[in-house]
Structure formats: structure tokens, C-alpha cells
Amino acid sequence: MDLSDSDLALVAALAEGLPLVSHPYRAVGAQLGLDEAEVIARIQAMRDGGIIRRFGIIVRHHELGFKANAMAVWAIPDGVVSEVGRVLGDAPEVTLCYRRPPRLPDWPYNLFCMVHGRDRGAVEESIQALVRRFDLGAYPHAVLFSTRRFKQTGARYGRPIPRAAAAE
């Protein structure tokens, strides 16, 4: 699915969240010169097309009592990293799972999983369970608990720019 310039403008407007007014889609459209039905149709299309993978209430873990989070990372050989990633990404303990490039010598790890829990012990247990269940013990591994949150907001895409420039 390709995004039009007006879709990109809508994406930027939605980054702030839907306003708490009776007709929120109309309010969003008013900033963009779109009517209510057009806004709804474009969001629907982006949802159906997979551009928007979730549309709804976005909660904050910490405030809901999930006080601990850790980034669990592994160094997995290139040939099997995607397979291991798919397995970990489906595990119920894992909130997010990504492959990223290693940066030697500072950072040898290429597979990243976020794990949330009520406290540190719960997160540690979850990670140990993953290591046992998927036989990950042989791979270099680190667990980076977060100790302070300096900032957490939604992504801001800023003023949308034309596709040609965005694809540079």
C-alpha cells in the first residue's frame, strides 16, 4: 500500500492522539482540509493495508503497575537469527522483538527483546524461562534493566514531507 501526501499529513496529525471531543475524526480532518468521512476512510484503509498495525488506546506499562522492564539481547549467528527471532517474537513473555546490527567491539548483540513485569524478579524469571525453553544458553547474552525513564511519548513524525524526499 502506498501512502499519499494527505495520508502522511494524517499520520502526523494522529501522532498526537485522537482529541477527546464528540467528533474527533472531524476535528483531525479540520486541520487537514479533509472531512470526517474521508478521515475515517483513510484510517480504515491504512489499517486494512497494514500501515497501521494497531489503532486504539495506548497504555503506559509503568503507570499500570508493570514497574520493571528489561532489554534482553543475544548475539545469534546470521544464519539462524531470523528463525530465533520469530520464535522469541511469538513467546508470551516478549513485548517487542527486533534484529539490529551489532557494533563491534562495543556491542556484539543482534537480537533484542523487551520484557515487562511487575518487578525485577518477575522479569528475570521470564527471561530465564525463555533461555531454557528455546535453548539459548550457548549464545552471548546480556540483560539491560531500565533504571530511569527520562522520556516516553508517542513517535512524532513532524511535518510530513513528500514521498520522493522521504525515500531519499
Question: Of 107, 128, 132, 140, which one interacts with another protein (CB under 8 A)?
Answer: 107
Question: Of 34, 76, 88, 130, which one interacts with another protein (CB under 8 A)?
Answer: 88
Question: Of 38, 95, 131, 134, which one interacts with another protein (CB under 8 A)?
Answer: 95
- Residue 130 C-beta: closest distance to another protein, Å: 12
- Residue 54 C-beta: closest distance to another protein, Å: 4
Which contacts (CB < 8 Å, 24+ apart) does range 88-97 have?
88/113, 88/130, 88/134, 89/113, 91/130, 91/133, 91/134, 93/126, 93/127, 93/129, 93/130, 94/130, 95/69
- Residue 137 C-beta: closest distance to another protein, Å: 20
- Residue 125 C-beta: closest distance to another protein, Å: 11
Question: Does 98 engage in binding with another protein (CB under 8 A)?
Answer: yes
Indicate the residue type of 1.
M
Question: Does 63 engage in binding with another protein (CB under 8 A)?
Answer: yes
Subset of residues 33 to 52 that bind another protein, contact rule: CB under 8 A: 36, 40, 43-44, 46-47, 50-52
Which three-class secondary structure state does DSSP give residue 39?
A: helix
Cα–Cα dist 136/83, whole Å: 12
Question: Of 34, 68, 115, 130, which one interacts with another protein (CB under 8 A)?
Answer: 115
Relative orientation angle of helices 24-32 and 36-48, to the nearest 10 degrees? 100
